Structure 1
């Protein structure tokens, strides 16, 4: 039987690249996202019966569970869950932030992963096989000005992934947290409210990671032998490293 990958946020960036990678390797893929037109276009591009699409928002718990419960037989026994759906909004300091942006990041980056994992995980445990791959960020490890809630949500993803490993001890189900650094996709366009010019300035003069790079990394951890678990994989482009600690002087 073909293996099955369930990919959230498949309508752009890392999710689209993962869809192409897993499908190209012969897997059945379940592609989810909020934008029906993009899901349809991606399914048409892949052009195969090995694609199932489900349009929903990961923030909607009932929609997530309904989509998983209604999976066709050829897509039901998920081998790899790629919890990719997520976003950053704004770079304002905490005292000037938009409260609604904070709510959206918490609901998507935290609750979305919880909903999808809770819906898919029991089947993996019952089969004693599976892999939950969460998309974290270096922002979960290293703070930066304006990262406030976004970084905190990714720190949650890191700790949730670690605790899942403990809960799943002895079940045969693997858990990995992928932690990308500077990567060019729709990430900055979304962060800056659709301002493409402002987003482009983030990457000027750099060679950032690409969605293809991250999809290759996800494919690598997923394709290792079943007894090998990559707990976390932090990835930066060579143009990025750590900065010195900031010291304010009067």
Structure 2
């Protein structure tokens, strides 16, 4: 749940990427967020460090989750995927993005079901901020500020005051909603904002030979799906 007081330390308006939650761009690897950050997911995929499952020597099993802890509530959305070993880098990136997007959407659905407690579900900045954080983690040399063009705290507050809280305007896509901001013209000389192409440079893979979700119907699982998380430490 974002508030006006989050500007500018956590929330900022940008000319080309709309509202951005800066906290979503920081993918710190700590025990508390293991299996729950873009960096962990990417290393699981790229380093092939998922679990080895008997009967599937050509694949490794990864877990990815997103969660929340607010108002005494604890909710998460978790999925498990088999990923084929030996994939080229470009394919690994596509697989990681597909997993990341699917879990991001699932978690936003979870938050949306808690609308009596929070307006965070599909808040305008969430999915776009997630996506930028993924690209920063995977490509490693992305200067999101240079691409997105943040405006000042004062200009961000004008956008907020004109349109209202970001949580009241839902966005179910990984592309931003862009709004009028005078500073985009005067400071950044942007008259026609455009979502930076770099943030659509990876195409998400389709489930199939390269990766697929582990479900109750998947043969050879060591334990039922609802117990798989106990195998990850």
TM range (shorter): 0.3 to 0.5
Instruction: Give the alignment's TM-score, normalised by structure 2.
Output: 0.36
Normalised to the residue count of structure 1, the TM-score between the two structures is 0.34
